[in-house]
Amino acid sequence: MVQPIVLLRGLAREQAHWGDFPGALARQTQRPVYCQDLPGMGQYHQEQSPADMRSLAELILPRLRRRHPGPWHLVAMSLGAMLAVQLAVLAPQQVASLVLINTSAGALTPFYQRLRWQQYSKVLSAFIAPLRQREQLILQLTSQRWQQPQLQRAVDIARHRPVQRLNVLRQLLAASRFRLSEKPQCPLLLLSGAADQLVDPICSERLADYWQVAHLQHPLAGHDLVLDAPDWLLSQLVQFYACLD
């Protein structure tokens, strides 16, 4: 049985924010590609999000198993990457590999690098702003290349499956509490954008040094590599999975 790729998004984002990327990834890798929403997001937007990463993982695991018994290759961004690491710790036999995008971990980097201090006011504004203004602020924080069609799409997604502010706070709390335990015992790749305005790229660099794993960085992309460098991201994933076959 071909092992599928599972995509996990980050803070206050859902599967629709992957856009056309899952289809392109499936075609290029010849693997099934699934998008998994986190509690409180996407198809689960009416649920309450747990406020710690282990509880998040314990909720996600049975949902992943219902879709496919595993093992899975996890591709995860930001907060979703923290969750992917937790899944690999809880269910090591079911996680075949990890690709972690623009993520961080406590103890390796201080809080003002895990969420850049220069953006605190914009993050707060996004939290309290009306929907369209909020989505524009999020794009300004996460993308170097966003355009009006991306903004309209983000607004449409937010209207269709609105995110509760309390769930965003609970996700932030889960991310702030996340600490590394043992290194996942599977192939692992870190990716980042050098122009990330939300999470300092040094977070990925220090994580790669700590684990002694490969780290590749796009010189111009921001936090959301799917928006800023989709072709580059696709290329890195295709090469990574080719080496596993």
The per-residue pLDDT for range 42-78, each reduced to its tens digit, is 999 999 999 999 999 999 999 999 999 989 999 999 9
pLDDT confidence of residue 2: 87
Cα–Cα distance measured from residue 3 to residue 1, given in angstroms and rounded to the nearest whole number: 6
**For the segment 75-96, what is each residue's pLDDT rounded down to a tens digit?**
999 999 999 999 999 999 999 9
Q: Per-residue b/e over 187-198, b at no fewer than 16 CB within 10 Å?
A: bbbbbbbebbbb
pTM of the model: 0.95
Predicted local confidence at residue 245, as pLDDT? 78
Q: What is the pLDDT of residues 144-160, one digit of tens each?
A: 999 999 999 999 999 99
What is the fold of 5-244? Answer: Rossmann fold (3.40.50)
The per-residue pLDDT for range 128-138, each reduced to its tens digit, is 889 999 999 99
Three-state DSSP class for residue 97: strand
Residues 163-221: pLDDT tens digits? 999 999 999 999 999 988 788 999 999 999 999 999 999 999 999 999 999 999 999 99
Gap between the Cα atoms of 233 and 245, Å rounded: 19
Q: What is the pLDDT of residues 11-30, one digit of tens each?
A: 999 999 999 999 999 999 99
Map out the domains of the chain as residue ranges: 5-244
The pLDDT of residue 117 is above 70: no
Cis bond upstream, residue 71 (ω within 30): yes
- Cβ contact 8:84 at 8 Å: yes
* Res 82: pLDDT: 96
Q: Which residues make beta-bridge pairs with 179?
A: 106
Which spans in 4-115 are helix H? 21-29, 53-67, 79-90, 111-114
Q: Determine contact, residues 75/7, Cβ cutoff 8 Å.
A: yes
> Which is nearest to 74 in space by CA: 194, 232, 186, 173?
186
> Where does the pLDDT of residue 141 fall: very low under 50, low under 70, confident under 90, or very high at 90 and above?
very high
